[in-house]
Structure 1
Amino acid sequence: MESIVGSNTGDVITKVLCNVLVIPENASFMTPQKIAFPTDYNLYYTYPILRTLTELLRITNADLQIFNVVQVNIPLTDEQEKNKDYLKDYLDETFPKSHSFHSVHNQDVKSSILNFVNDNQIDMLTMVAKNLNFLQQILFDTTIEKLSFHTTIPMLVLHE
């Protein structure tokens, strides 16, 4: 069993307050065409986060696929809906044709992310470090056995 990132990379992601691009050792260079942005919509996306996403999409011309793992019978809170609407409005205005929103119904967030990445041929994963509980669940849970993407696709961790 192994985690998605090593302890040194994990320390940099969680303790250094700047954006971090994690490039796996076995990755081949390519400009990403599809970027996944998993979110639980618990964060308000601030200008620094949106500016970095905007620059990333402008440079790569990639499609941004925002997705949320929906827990069965647990609707989004009013705050989550507000954050989702704000993100959607921003992307509709800035990149109207190069983003999409997805909901995956599953109890297991980690497996859902892994499956989404594999099923949609994602080239890069982007996450916000401020949501450390969500991020740490995904990065540091050593019970994840199927980690087919951790050796091949880069991950951009955004800080404000």
Structure 2
Amino acid sequence: MQKILIPTDFSENAWNAIDYSMQLFRDKECTFYLLNTYTPVIPSSRFMAKMIDGVRIVDAVRDSSEKNLQKTVAQIKGKYKNPKHHFKTVSSFNLLVEEVKDMVDTFGINLVITGTKGASGIDEIFMGSNTVRIIKSIKKCPILAIPKHFDYVTPNEIAFATDFNRFYTLSELTPLLDMAKMFQATIRIVHVQYGIKALSELQQFNLNMLRRYLSDVEHYVHTVSELHSVSQTLEIFTKELDIHLLALLNYQHSYMEQMTREPIVKKTAFHTQIPLLVIPELGMEGIAVGVGTESRSASNQEEP
């Protein structure tokens, strides 16, 4: 059974990520952990109200969080009625990224799914700051980022962007392979070059190993010239080939690191128009499955 964590702030953006998740895994037995974090301002002055109608502010915010999580589960079950899907809710007085990290360890989460949006209403921002922080911080399982206005499309065309400069392990490629096999998808390996040139011996070796790992799925290799930035190049590539999901490995000097660190990203047109699967650098370690003990409190929202 897959264990999938979905942070939510009860916004339209967060609901779209939930909606996508229910459709993506409609045929899979899954437990979804819906997480809401809150950090209410704790009054430090005697002139500031610590109570609202006799209820402590912290308690009021927690109650609101828990009630909205229950409403969200009811909304999901009312729309999908999927007996394969099970739900647990977690309301936590904590920072979002810290809580996500803790839950990945505690519950053995296999995948984190989050909505993306531009920060401060600026469309040019690559993706929401919370999403970027989650991608940079989570090292034990992949993250699937869903754009705010993206309507679900079965991902039968998946792009995997890489420069072939790093050796891949099967554990790192497992999320990509699982997704491709689940939907009988074609994987399009895309290599962005600043000026087309032959691969080095190391790059050719890594490409050969990658193709060996992907031997059970249909796949093609595309080499494209960089246009202004890696992010803009990938956006044009995914549009032209009607790609439904873009996957990247996140490691030092990777495309993913470039797109989250370079200031130029904020000036390009890459707005994560399609879902983005970010796979952390695992080396010889496996994806988190069943690690840790469930000591953290989670509310079970199953039907009676």
Find the partner of 1:71 among 177, 182, 194: 194
Aligned 8 A contact 1:43 1:131 in 2? no
Q: Do the aligned partners of residues 68 and 2 (structure 1) sit closer, same or farther apart at CA in structure 2, a change above 3 Å counting? A: same
1-side partners of 2:161 and 2:204: how far apart?
Answer: 15
1:124 correspondence with 2:245 = yes
Superposed, which structure 2 residues align to 1:136-155 within 5 Å? 136-140=257-261, 141-144=265-268, 146-147=269-270, 150=272, 152-155=273-276
Which amino acid is the alignment partner of residue 219 of structure 2?
H
Superposed, which structure 2 residues align to 1:53-132 within 5 Å? 53-72=176-195, 74-91=197-214, 93-95=215-217, 98-106=218-226, 108-132=229-253
Which residue does 1:48 correspond to in 2? Answer: 171
1-side partners of 2:187 and 2:242: how far apart?
Answer: 12
Unaligned runs of 5+ in 1: none
2-side partners of 1:155 and 1:73: how far apart?
Answer: 26
2-side partners of 1:73 and 1:47: how far apart?
Answer: 28
2-side partners of 1:82 and 1:69: how far apart?
Answer: 17
The secondary structure found in structure 2 opposite 1:118 is helix
Structure 1 residue 33, shift from structure 2 partner: 1.5
The secondary structure found in structure 1 opposite 2:266 is coil
Aligned 8 A contact 2:162 2:254 in 1? no
1-side partners of 2:226 and 2:176: how far apart?
Answer: 26
1-side partners of 2:226 and 2:177: how far apart?
Answer: 29
2-side partners of 1:139 and 1:118: how far apart?
Answer: 21
The 10-residue stretch of structure 1 (135-144 or 49-58) with the greater mean CA deviation from structure 2: 135-144
- Spell out, residue by residue over 1:58-77, the C-alpha distance to the aligned partner (whole angstroms, 9 max, x if none): 11211110010123264322
2-side partners of 1:113 and 1:12: how far apart?
Answer: 22
Q: TM-score by structure 1 length?
A: 0.86
Report the structure number with the largest CA radius of gyration: 2
Aligned 8 A contact 1:23 1:154 in 2? yes
Structure 1 residue 132, shift from structure 2 partner: 5.0
Number of residues of Structure 1 aligned to a counterpart in Structure 2 = 154
Flag the structure with more relative contact order, 1 or 2, with Cα contacts below 8 A and sequence separation at least 6: 1
2-side partners of 1:7 and 1:115: how far apart?
Answer: 23
The secondary structure found in structure 2 opposite 1:142 is helix
Structure 1 residue 133, shift from structure 2 partner: 4.3
The secondary structure found in structure 2 opposite 1:27 is coil
Percent of matched pairs sharing the same residue: 28
Which residue does 1:6 correspond to in 2? Answer: 128
1-side partners of 2:223 and 2:196: how far apart?
Answer: 13
Aligned 8 A contact 1:127 1:156 in 2? yes
2-side partners of 1:58 and 1:90: how far apart?
Answer: 13
The secondary structure found in structure 1 opposite 2:144 is strand
Which amino acid is the alignment partner of residue 106 of structure 1?
E
The secondary structure found in structure 1 opposite 2:147 is coil
